[in-house]
């Protein structure tokens, strides 16, 4: 079924898959957001235990999605993998450190004789939650703001930025998306707790926190998006492949791809609806509206960065080194082979859905913490 | 192509990868094996309805969870390290190498991590059967993960199913099935997972033996020992079989690695397999010192294992560096081996031709393009040698490879005797009386980890200097970063992983001491 597709269509298909994985990843970052709220929402040991266990049953989904996102990016756009990872060394290393310390923290936090103490593992979870979300947001923002690197005729890349990627964090636009992701993750976490935790004291604190986190989220997100609509973007000529600046490129992309614009708008509305519903009414299903909204919004942003002859990983050092879905991709054969593999994705989503429902069919409560099950 | 080679950078990058892989491999084999052991146990629980089996299953599941978490923590870094520290490599072979990593995520890792959630938290939420299936899927998922990672690794040791595209300056996949079913990859996969089953069996037996020594949890210990010993002995037999297959593959595809494994400098016909030996310290490939201080060997066995012929010539390190010996290539044609220097010269011709091709393309000189392509294709098979300057640089660290190999094999056979002894004694119900054996079983647990790590060292140190056999050496694979940056991350990883390892061990020992609880966890 993929045999007849052209290389370009396969490249677009894979950009769509990467975008979807990225979008699902941002939604799943609610786990990270929740990790930064353990002490804000949980005032007693049991309350914190409930929060940790509520998140602990989901952390692996986020983790696995991150790993798969990386693997899929490697397989489909290896030039991005080699340029960005080898270039923005410190940013990626910090992200990785943040995830290394997360993986053990759930399992070891409440185990006796755990060497570092429960507090340390909770700090690890906080670091992962804050650093992981902000840095991932900053990295995605560079799809629009560009980085300083060059790629030579052998496609070997060299980073020209001053601080191996850390300089990217100083760009206010990158930072605004980073913080938007951070507060979004916290908002989603609160909505998730409302849906999953059955503990009155915790729930009584969620509404106020939801408001406190939604406001900065909306401010940072709007700052980024409005600015995005006015900047010069990185366009390339479909025939000559030459990259150049184009005024209002991303606004043009929206207007020239109305479907993407619609997806984006529906996404934003759903995110806000989920938040509003949970603030103004007593509602436990806000997570589903905001969650789906997050996926749609992020998906649209990724498509904005890569489709319509746009360089998705632009170089401000040397425009012609910028990466596009055409020059950074794998060969036609590999994309084709991988496309067959991608047919497994709906199946994977189906069993994740099954597992999610099986575990979440009943809210988590203090009673369950005393049952003979695996407790974090 | 590479402007300057920074030895410090390459060595620190290597050290970092070795460190992270080593730590990861400390935890993975136990996960691969114990998930099956747990699945067997839970199957017995579902079949018999005996709550004791549930208690046993849950106890081992707790230990598995502790190990799994740190395995995941140390694993994520490896995938991304290809990009961060080996970016040239990532481009040069990403078209082939990326695919198995992506498939691992989509097909295996999700399966493993999704069903782990049910396995841990689903006891009271799904039916017994659904829970059992989840446990089996965790085992299958983790082993499928290993399949894709080892397919990727096998491809590096013996690149197949691809061609070099001069326009994109990278290798591109031509045949997915050739990559997946490469004999090196399949052998590596089977050998590695079975070694993991052996390790997990020894772990379970060792912990159970400790309970017996303490006079605790006798039923749990006995049942666990029976299952693991049978699983272990069957796996060991398969391990020998796949080990034999691996030796054959190494002889064919990586003769230098074979020579290093055996400490063989001067090649010979009818070569023996060293059972015990000490390679001469400070030995250079071209000096007159003997290869070994002392050796005890089984005559002609190496020739037989490597080439299926007791009289076959096995080239030594010196032969491979200097060339001139006769061998049969993969098409069955007799060839005279080239020296490393000749290969280096050809590699440089290929690199140069590629650069000329690029220039000719730029200036639209079609004739020159064609000419340079011809030269390039003639010399491409030794492309990677072009990045080397010294023939000696194709020699891996012989003592490390030799000792790791012999430790691995020696311990592997020791484990078989142990499994057999345990099975016999436990069936006669005499195991508990043999205190010395129980103690030995406890002390064998760390040996299983040593054997497993040694296997990894043989595979990875023995193939140096190559990241892709003959096509790309480590020096040309590395990201152009300051060596000091890699040095900092190296020490950071060392510190973080060591601290986490200490935590893991302390928690593990404590949980073992606590033992199974009624109802588990």
Evaluate if residue B121 carries a pLDDT over 80: yes
Chain B residue closest in CA terms to A116: B503
- Distance between CA atoms of B491 and B19, rounded to whole angstroms? 10
DSSP for A71-131 reads: HHHHHH-HHHIIIIIHHSHHHHHHHHHHHHHHHHHHHHHTSTT-SS-HHHHHHHHHHHHHH
List the single residue in B91, B354, B503 with the smallest CB-CB distance to A79.
B91
- Distance between CA atoms of B308 and B319, rounded to whole angstroms? 20
- Distance between CA atoms of A52 and A369, rounded to whole angstroms? 11
Is B79 within 8 Å of A103 when comparing Cβ atoms? Answer: no
List the single residue in B75, B84, B519 with the smallest CB-CB distance to A93.
B84
Cβ atoms within 10 Å of A307's Cβ, excluding its own: 18
Q: Are B291 and B264 in contact (CB under 8 A)?
A: yes
Q: Are B458 and B403 in contact (CB under 8 A)?
A: no
Sequence length of chain B is: 521
In chain B, what are the domain boundaries? Answer: 7-254+396-511, 259-336, 340-391
Is A373 within 8 Å of B503 when comparing Cβ atoms? Answer: no
Interface of A with B in 291-350 (CB under 8 A): 330-331, 333-334, 337-338, 341-342, 344-345, 348
List the single residue in B69, B102, B105 with the smallest CB-CB distance to A104.
B69
What is the tens place of the pLDDT at every residue in A81-118? 999 999 999 999 999 999 999 989 999 999 999 999 99
Q: Are A89 and A164 in contact (CB under 8 A)?
A: yes
Q: What's the confidence (pLDDT) of residue B518?
A: 60
Q: What's the confidence (pLDDT) of residue A162?
A: 81
Q: Are B205 and B224 in contact (CB under 8 A)?
A: yes
What is the tens place of the pLDDT at every residue in A247-275? 999 999 999 999 999 999 999 999 999 99
Is B106 within 8 Å of A341 when comparing Cβ atoms? Answer: yes
Evaluate if residue B229 carries a pLDDT over 90: yes
- Distance between CA atoms of B173 and B160, rounded to whole angstroms? 9
User: Which of these, B471, B474, B257, B473, lies nearest to B379 by C-alpha position?
Assistant: B471
- Distance between CA atoms of A89 and A99, rounded to whole angstroms? 15
Average pLDDT for residues B493-519, to the nearest whole number? 91
Residues of B in contact with A59 (CB under 8 A): none
DSSP for A196-242 reads: HB--HHHHHHHHHHHHHHHHHHHHHHHHHHHHHHHS-EEEE-TTT--
Is A75 within 8 Å of B70 when comparing Cβ atoms? Answer: no
Shortest Cα–Cα distance, B177 to chain A (Å): 10
Is B169 within 8 Å of A104 when comparing Cβ atoms? Answer: no
- Distance between CA atoms of A324 and A80, rounded to whole angstroms? 9
Evaluate if residue B372 carries a pLDDT over 90: yes
List the single residue in A81, A108, A371 with the smallest CB-CB distance to B94.
A81
Interface of A with B in 147-186 (CB under 8 A): 153-159, 164
Average pLDDT for residues A294-313, to the nearest whole number? 97
- Which burial class, exposed, middle or buried, applies to B415 when counting CB atoms under 10 A from its CB (0-12, 13-18, 19+)? buried
Is the CA virtual torsion A268, A274, A277, A279 positive or negative? negative
List the single residue in B2, B99, B105 with the smallest CB-CB distance to A68.
B105
- Distance between CA atoms of B233 and B201, rounded to whole angstroms? 9
Residues of A in contact with B509 (CB under 8 A): 113
- Distance between CA atoms of B443 and B445, rounded to whole angstroms? 5
Q: What's the confidence (pLDDT) of residue A138?
A: 96
Q: What's the confidence (pLDDT) of residue B520?
A: 46
Residue with tokens 């002859």: A309
List the single residue in A99, A351, A359 with the smallest CB-CB distance to B122.
A359
Average pLDDT score, chain A: 94
- Residue B73 CB partners (closer than 8 Å, separation 6+): A99, A100, A101, A102, A103, A104, B500
Query: To which H or E segment does residue A347 belong?
Result: helix A345-360
List the single residue in B65, B84, B362 with the smallest CB-CB distance to A85.
B84
Query: CA end-to-end span of chain A, whole Å?
Result: 45
Residues of A in contact with B125 (CB under 8 A): 358-359, 361-362
Residues of A in contact with B111 (CB under 8 A): 348, 351
What is the tens place of the pLDDT at every residue in A329-365? 999 999 999 999 999 999 999 999 999 888 888 899 9
Residues of B in contact with A64 (CB under 8 A): 105, 109-110, 113-114
Q: Is A75 on the interface with B (CB under 8 A)?
A: yes
Shortest Cα–Cα distance, A162 to chain B (Å): 12
Q: Is A101 on the interface with B (CB under 8 A)?
A: yes
Cα–Cα distances (Å) from B93 to A154, A240, B36, B488, in that order, read 13, 26, 34, 27
- Distance between CA atoms of B194 and B234, rounded to whole angstroms? 9
In chain A, what are the domain boundaries? Answer: 7-224+332-370
Is A333 within 8 Å of B104 when comparing Cβ atoms? Answer: no
- Distance between CA atoms of B446 and B423, rounded to whole angstroms? 21
Shortest Cα–Cα distance, B109 to chain A (Å): 7
What is the tens place of the pLDDT at every residue in B27-58? 999 999 999 999 999 999 999 999 999 999 99
Chain B residue closest in CA terms to A81: B83
**Chain pair A-B, CB pairs under 8 angstroms:** 278
- Distance between CA atoms of B456 and B25, rounded to whole angstroms? 8
Average pLDDT for residues B18-26, to the nearest whole number? 95
- Distance between CA atoms of A202 and A205, rounded to whole angstroms? 5
Bridge partner residues of B279 (DSSP): B292
- Residue B292 CB partners (closer than 8 Å, separation 6+): B263, B274, B277, B278, B279, B280
Helix, strand, coil fractions of chain A, as percent rounded to 5: 70, 5, 25
Residue B503 region, left (φ>0) first, then alpha (ψ -120 to 50), else beta? alpha
List the single residue in A103, A115, A158 with the smallest CB-CB distance to B506.
A115
Evaluate if residue B521 carries a pLDDT over 60: no
Q: Give the whole-number percent of chain A exceeding pLDDT 90.
A: 89
Q: Is A242 on the interface with B (CB under 8 A)?
A: no
- Distance between CA atoms of A239 and A244, rounded to whole angstroms? 13
Q: Are B441 and B431 in contact (CB under 8 A)?
A: no
Chain B residue closest in CA terms to A346: B106
- Distance between CA atoms of B286 and B281, rounded to whole angstroms? 14
- Distance between CA atoms of A289 and A277, rounded to whole angstroms? 9
Evaluate if residue B231 carries a pLDDT over 50: yes
Confidence of residue B345 (pLDDT cuts 50, 70, 90): very high
Shortest Cα–Cα distance, B502 to chain A (Å): 7
Query: CA end-to-end span of chain B, whole Å?
Result: 57
User: Which of these, A21, A89, A25, lies nearest to A63 by C-alpha position?
Assistant: A25
Shortest Cα–Cα distance, A294 to chain B (Å): 21
List the single residue in A81, A106, A373 with the smallest CB-CB distance to B83.
A81
Is the CA virtual torsion B220, B222, B227, B229 positive or negative? positive
Q: Give the whole-number percent of chain B exceeding pLDDT 70.
A: 98
Whether residue A243 has a cis bond before it, omega within 30° of 0? no
- Helix/strand/coil for B311: coil
Mutate to test the interface with B, among A66, A100, A139 (most CBs of B within 10 A): A100
Residues of B in contact with A107 (CB under 8 A): 65-66, 68-69
Average pLDDT score, chain B: 93
User: Which of these, B96, A323, A78, B349, lies nearest to B357 by C-alpha position?
Assistant: B349
- Distance between CA atoms of A102 and A108, rounded to whole angstroms? 10
Evaluate if residue B122 carries a pLDDT over 60: yes
Residue with tokens 């054959």: B248
Task: Compute φ and ψ for A157, nearest 5 degrees.
Answer: -105, 160
Task: Compute φ and ψ for B102, nearest 5 degrees.
Answer: -65, -45
Cα–Cα distances (Å) from A193 to A286, A371, B196, in that order, read 10, 20, 39
- Report the b/e string of B219-257 with b at 16+ CB within 10 A: ebbbbbbbbbbebbbebbebbeebbebbbbbbbbbbbbb
Average pLDDT for residues B190-209, to the nearest whole number? 97
Confidence of residue B5 (pLDDT cuts 50, 70, 90): low
Evaluate if residue B401 carries a pLDDT over 60: yes
- Distance between CA atoms of B177 and B340, rounded to whole angstroms? 32
User: Which of these, B473, B490, B493, B485, lies nearest to B88 by C-alpha position?
Assistant: B473
- Distance between CA atoms of B360 and B366, rounded to whole angstroms? 7
> Helices (DSSP H) in B363-434: which residue ranges?
366-379, 398-427
Q: How far is C-alpha B252 from the geometric centre of its chain's CA atoms? A: 18
Mutate to test the interface with A, among B38, B96, B98 (most CBs of A within 10 A): B98
Average pLDDT for residues B186-204, to the nearest whole number? 97
Strands A243-246 and B162-165, sheet pairing: unpaired
Q: Are B173 and B95 in contact (CB under 8 A)?
A: yes
Q: Are B520 and B59 in contact (CB under 8 A)?
A: yes
The DSSP secondary-structure symbol of B86 reads: -
Q: What's the confidence (pLDDT) of residue B360?
A: 92
Q: Is A257 on the interface with B (CB under 8 A)?
A: no
Q: Are A287 and A191 in contact (CB under 8 A)?
A: yes
User: Which of these, A353, A374, A315, lies nearest to A152 by C-alpha position?
Assistant: A315
Evaluate if residue B283 carries a pLDDT over 80: yes
List the single residue in B58, B99, B362 with the smallest CB-CB distance to A338.
B99
Q: What's the confidence (pLDDT) of residue B4?
A: 55
Is A81 within 8 Å of B517 when comparing Cβ atoms? Answer: no
Q: Are B376 and B357 in contact (CB under 8 A)?
A: yes
Shortest Cα–Cα distance, A15 to chain B (Å): 14
Residue with tokens 């294992």: B305
List the single residue in B75, B104, B479 with the smallest CB-CB distance to A86.
B479
User: Which of these, B265, B480, B469, lies nearest to B385 by C-alpha position?
Assistant: B469
Is B110 within 8 Å of A348 when comparing Cβ atoms? Answer: yes
- Distance between CA atoms of A335 and B200, rounded to whole angstroms? 38
Evaluate if residue A60 carries a pLDDT over 60: yes
CB under 8 A, 24+ apart: contacts of B424-429: B426/B222, B426/B225, B426/B226, B426/B229
Average pLDDT for residues B276-289, to the nearest whole number? 89
């Amino acid at each position: 079924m993929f045999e007849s597709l052209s290389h370009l269509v396969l490249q677009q298909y894979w950009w769509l898959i990467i975008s979807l994985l990225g979008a699902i990843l941002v939604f799943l970052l609610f786990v990270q957001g929740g990790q930064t709220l353990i002490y804000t929402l949980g005032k007693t040991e049991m309350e914190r235990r409930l929060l940790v266990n509520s998140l602990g049953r989901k952390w692996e989904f986020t983790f696995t999605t991150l790993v798969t996102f990386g693997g899929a990016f490697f397989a489909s756009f290896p030039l991005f993998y080699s340029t960005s990872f080898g270039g923005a060394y410190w940013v990626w290393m910090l992200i990785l450190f943040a995830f290394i310390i997360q993986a053990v923290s759930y399992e070891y936090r409440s185990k006796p004789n755990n060497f570092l103490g429960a507090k340390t593992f909770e700090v690890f979870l906080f670091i992962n939650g804050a650093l992981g979300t902000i840095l991932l947001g900053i990295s995605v923002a560079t799809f629009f703001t560009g980085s300083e690197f060059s790629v030579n005729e052998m496609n070997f890349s060299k980073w020209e930025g001053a601080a191996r990627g850390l300089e990217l964090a100083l760009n206010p636009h990158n930072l605004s998306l980073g913080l938007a992701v951070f507060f979004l993750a916290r908002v989603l976490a609160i909505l998730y707790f409302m849906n999953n935790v059955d503990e009155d004291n915790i729930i009584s604190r969620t509404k106020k926190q939801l408001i406190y986190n939604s406001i900065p989220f909306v401010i940072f997100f709007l700052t980024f998006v409005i600015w995005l609509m006015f900047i010069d973007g990185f366009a390339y000529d479909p025939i000559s492949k030459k990259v150049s600046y184009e005024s209002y490129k991303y606004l043009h992309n929206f207007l020239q791809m109305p479907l993407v614009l619609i997806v984006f708008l529906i996404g934003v509305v759903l995110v806000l609806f989920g938040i509003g519903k949970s603030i103004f009414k007593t509602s436990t299903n806000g997570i589903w509206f905001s969650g789906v909204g997050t996926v749609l919004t992020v998906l649209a942003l990724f498509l904005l960065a890569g489709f319509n002859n746009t360089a998705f990983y632009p170089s401000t050092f040397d425009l012609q080194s910028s990466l596009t879905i055409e020059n950074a991709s794998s060969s036609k054969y590999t994309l084709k082979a991988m496309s067959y593999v991608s047919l497994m994705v709906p199946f994977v989503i189906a069993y994740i859905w099954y597992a999610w429902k099986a575990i979440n069919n009943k809210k988590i409560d203090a009673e369950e913490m005393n049952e003979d099950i695996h407790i974090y | 192509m590479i402007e300057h080679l920074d030895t410090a950078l390459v060595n620190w990058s290597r050290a970092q990868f070795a460190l992270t892989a080593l730590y990861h491999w400390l935890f993975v084999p136990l996960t691969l094996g114990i998930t099956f052991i747990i699945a067997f146990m839970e199957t017995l629980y579902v079949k018999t309805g005996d709550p004791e089996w549930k208690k046993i299953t849950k106890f081992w599941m707790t230990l598995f969870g502790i190990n799994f978490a740190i395995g995941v923590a140390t694993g994520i870094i490896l995938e991304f390290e290809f990009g961060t520290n080996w970016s040239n490599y990532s481009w040069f072979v990403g078209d082939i190498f990326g695919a198995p990593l992506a498939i691992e995520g989509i097909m295996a890792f999700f399966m493993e991590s999704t069903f782990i959630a049910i396995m841990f938290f689903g006891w009271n939420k799904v039916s017994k059967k659904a829970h059992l299936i989840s446990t089996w899927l965790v085992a299958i998922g983790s082993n499928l993960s290993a399949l894709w990672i080892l397919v990727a690794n096998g491809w590096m040791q013996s690149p197949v199913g691809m061609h070099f595209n001069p326009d994109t300056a990278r290798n591109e996949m031509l045949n997915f099935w050739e990559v997946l079913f490469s004999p090196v990859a399949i052998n590596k996969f089977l050998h590695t997972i079975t070694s993991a089953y052996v390790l997990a069996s020894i772990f379970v037996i060792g912990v159970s033996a400790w309970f017996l020594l303490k006079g605790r949890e006798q039923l749990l210990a006995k049942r666990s020992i029976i299952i693991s010993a049978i699983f272990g002995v069957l796996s060991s037999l398969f391990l020998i079989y796949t080990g034999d297959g691996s030796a054959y593959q190494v002889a064919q595809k990586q003769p230098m690695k074979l020579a290093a494994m055996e400490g063989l400098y001067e090649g010979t016909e009818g070569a023996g397999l060293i059972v015990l030996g000490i390679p001469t310290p400070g030995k250079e490939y071209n000096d007159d010192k003997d290869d070994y201080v002392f050796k005890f060997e089984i005559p002609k066995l190496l020739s037989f294992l490597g080439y299926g012929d007791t009289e076959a010539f096995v080239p030594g390190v010196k032969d491979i560096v200097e060339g001139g010996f006769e061998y049969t290539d993969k098409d069955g044609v007799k060839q005279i081996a080239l020296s490393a220097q000749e290969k280096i010269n050809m590699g440089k011709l290929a690199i140069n031709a590629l650069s000329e091709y690029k220039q000719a393309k730029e200036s639209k000189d079609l004739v020159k393009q064609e000419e340079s392509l011809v030269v390039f294709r003639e010399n491409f098979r030794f492309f990677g040698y072009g990045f080397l300057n010294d023939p000696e640089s194709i020699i891996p660290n012989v003592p490390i490879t030799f000792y790791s190999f012999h430790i691995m094999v020696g311990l592997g056979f020791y484990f078989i005797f142990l499994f057999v002894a345990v099975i016999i004694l436990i069936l006669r119900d005499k195991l508990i009386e043999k205190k010395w054996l129980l103690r030995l079983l406890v002390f064998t647990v760390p040996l299983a980890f040593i054997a497993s790590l040694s296997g990894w060292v043989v595979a990875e140190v023995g193939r140096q200097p190559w990241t892709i056999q003959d096509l790309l050496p480590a020096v040309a694979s590395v990201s152009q970063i300051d060596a000091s940056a890699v040095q900092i991350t190296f020490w950071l990883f060392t510190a973080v992983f060591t601290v986490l390892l200490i935590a893991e061990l302390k928690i593990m020992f404590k949980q073992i001491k606590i033992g199974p609880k009624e109802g588990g966890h």
